[in-house]
Structure 1
């Protein structure tokens, strides 16, 4: 399993939303942003994922990510990997 090492900038803002904007502007991807929020702000994985997903910094990707998740969930249900609701 590959491990994503994230080196945080020295000038990380106190505000986590500003941090996401900074990290994205520096070329960090969504997973690196999630990892950075967990390391810097002590967030749970769920909280960090939610904040990055709904961040204005990643707004242009949100719709595509949600569409992908829906397709993945549908396929998993059809294969019997998850129970139908």
Structure 2
């Protein structure tokens, strides 16, 4: 069951300048999380291919967290971008 998309009602009350600044910062974090999730995925796959079961088990939870965190920032980035486009 997928989560219901979150709406950020308070974004309608901030200036375009604040939306632009928040958008840039969130996009920067989203990019970093994407890179981390990708690197962790490659590490996990290499550990799995090498039969390092203890390592894959240890990496499972952090990898899921990185992926979930990245999705959160991607959703926030999309919301900010939509709000910015509405104002331009």
- Structure index of larger Rg: 2
Greater relative CO, 1 or 2 (CA 8 Å, sep 6+): 2
TM-score w.r.t. the length of structure 1 is 0.31
More helix by share: 2
